[in-house]
Structure 1
């Protein structure tokens, strides 16, 4: 029977993932209001969103070593508090430069909690006899869906952006501190007889870390394409109305969330390699269907297959990165999470650039190929017991 402490830590991890998804979602739904309040152009906003992305990547790289040095019990609640405080800033911004500062803080806080909560999820998962990582990522999606509903309500009621984001920020601070008592640290490595040093485990090679990061980049680039281009594809290519086009992203998002809730039990039976290999292949098949069909119902089915295929891959990659070397779990995860995040940001921009030169359908060949490549290299997730060369320092 599972010990009560890991169960409590599991609930706490669900809480932080949901809280992060909710906070990010509330910022996203208020972007138009913030743009109007600061009087900036679309192009200026695009540049400032790059500042947010760069700050998030920086926060990830800082958080990884901090998790290894100070433990998740200190870092994760602090990251939640930092995110809550930073969320207040965009609602108070009144110019491009104040918004830039606010988005840098928000991005740094989001990057920090991203690595901290994933690192804690790996620690909690080690205490269980089966995979549980994917369900945590599903809770992030639930948090985003909740933000869409709450945000729609506050916007309809004309609640000031500063009040809404400030209130959500306060919730983040309170909940992060309340859940802190259930956060656990990694169990120290056993010591060798007659030695004061921890017993060495198989050290991952730099090549292995970069391969995991490259697959995360590919998978999250594909996810970013769906996030930003699914609805536009249905509207521009299939000729649907704006309201109908929203079902394209909805099909993807619902399938991805449902798939993540189901992935853990499937992974317990077939292993992470099969999840990534066959999931990536299914995603490639789904997006190929989107590319070639002129019929909306088949396109919606294609987006659903795309989301279902992608749903389990990223959690498996993050779990694998966090378990490469328990002594440097946070730092290794930060590299893989960071590369995945770069893919998430790069995907929509890459497709947008290609769409200036080739049809949107043809541009979708990029994520299709990346999914196929991920399927081919899925063996990188196979457990390794022997020490690898070129140890990561």
Structure 2
């Protein structure tokens, strides 16, 4: 049965929402689990590295699975596993259990990411305008909802296990309801080679996402520290930059599609990189509370649309199937997300934190330059 594009879009958006809800729910209870297992900050940092390990393991496997099995089946299995692994994270009693569960959580997270973006590319094909960024906006919105639920649960003294069980139930129910409306993309055409060397255009797209993800990863991990050490913000304001960045990143994703429809993908990427560069330079050159908040707002708006637009372009590749193309680009991009925070730490140690944020501005300018050369 063929469903209306709006129904399919709603089903795919629901998958993005529960994916964001699972991740935010975990993030909201990290401190609780740290206390439960009596982990030091250093030990926690080592344990949390298990999550990106799982993500990296999953990258090639997810592209292969989406190509061979179809994104609908992979998405349903991955999202359901994502929710169930969340429950196990809340129930762990030993550190080794947490490490193992985080690896599996990372694997299911990335499988969900590749497959849901493949579904989004197929859904975008039903429309005469870009809609990819709005899906990522739903993911960001779910992040705020998940964080709010987590705060409520903590305030009420609810343990992580029952909290996560509720989120898992919501996730699995959403999968069951949405299943019939998702794209059934397991066709004879999808039985071609899953592993193909990305062509120059896909590598360029990956590098654009890489540069933007370096900035995004650094903003996640270093924005609070920047406000504390450079802006010298009072205790109640040290999170203002992070909040400002996240708010404009989420809202920017809901307007990026309209902008791309009017001005094109290349111009959207160029403007995105320019906004990030301007915002970072404002924060570096004028390190006061108000100007830094404004600068971080520009950065959030700048990074909001890059990854969704790159995924959209990759999913339309003529040399690779959508799932494999998105996996290839995602692999390059994710490396940027991983190395961004430690690179900033290294540069801050060798020079200053302001100098390291100047490096982020260079990465933002690279987005502009690469976008000019990209075939989009």
- TM-score band by shorter chain is over 0.9
Aligned partners of 2:16 and 2:135 also within 8 Å: yes
Is 2:301 aligned against 1:302? no
Aligned partners of 1:226 and 1:249 also within 8 Å: yes
| Superposition pairs of residues 112-127 of structure 1, within 5 angstroms | 112-127=111-126
How far apart are the structure 2 equivalents of 1:115 and 1:251? Answer: 28
**Deviation sequence 1:360-391 (CA, Å, 0-9, x none):** 111112211111111011035434xxxxxxxx
Aligned to 1:312: 305
Aligned to 2:129: 130
Aligned to 1:386: none
- Please list every run of 5 or more consecutive structure 2 residues that lacks an aligned counterpart in the other structure: none
Aligned partners of 2:71 and 2:323 also within 8 Å: no
**Deviation sequence 1:19-47 (CA, Å, 0-9, x none):** 11111011011101111222222222212
Is 2:104 aligned against 1:105? yes
Aligned to 1:10: 9
Aligned to 1:19: 18
Shift in CA distance, 281/189, structure 1 to aligned 2, threshold 3 Å = farther
Aligned partners of 2:253 and 2:305 also within 8 Å: yes
Aligned to 1:277: 270
Alpha-carbon offset, residue 326 of structure 1: 7.6
Aligned to 1:42: 41
Alpha-carbon offset, residue 284 of structure 1: 0.4
**Greater CA drift, 347-356 or 204-213:** 204-213
Is 2:355 aligned against 1:356? no
Q: Secondary structure at the match of 2:60?
A: helix
Q: Secondary structure at the match of 2:4?
A: helix
Q: TM-score, normalised by structure 1?
A: 0.90
Aligned partners of 1:134 and 1:316 also within 8 Å: yes
Aligned partners of 1:231 and 1:249 also within 8 Å: yes
Aligned to 2:142: 143
**Greater CA drift, 143-152 or 58-67:** 58-67
Aligned to 1:232: 225
Alpha-carbon offset, residue 344 of structure 1: 1.6
Aligned partners of 2:344 and 2:356 also within 8 Å: yes
| Superposition pairs of residues 46-57 of structure 1, within 5 angstroms | 46-57=45-56
How far apart are the structure 2 equivalents of 1:123 and 1:323? Answer: 9
Q: How many aligned residue pairs are there? A: 372
How far apart are the structure 1 equivalents of 2:40 and 2:173? Answer: 35
- Please list every run of 5 or more consecutive structure 1 residues that lacks an aligned counterpart in the other structure: 191-196, 384-393
Shift in CA distance, 371/330, structure 1 to aligned 2, threshold 3 Å = same
How far apart are the structure 2 equivalents of 1:94 and 1:59? Answer: 25
How far apart are the structure 2 equivalents of 1:235 and 1:97? Answer: 34
| Superposition pairs of residues 127-276 of structure 1, within 5 angstroms | 127-186=126-185, 206-276=199-269
How far apart are the structure 2 equivalents of 1:137 and 1:211? Answer: 21
How far apart are the structure 2 equivalents of 1:103 and 1:188? Answer: 33
Is 2:358 aligned against 1:365? yes
Q: Secondary structure at the match of 1:356?
A: helix
How far apart are the structure 2 equivalents of 1:147 and 1:65? Answer: 30
RMSD, aligned α-carbons: 2.1
Q: TM-score, normalised by structure 2?
A: 0.94
How far apart are the structure 2 equivalents of 1:327 and 1:6? Answer: 25
Shift in CA distance, 360/180, structure 1 to aligned 2, threshold 3 Å = same
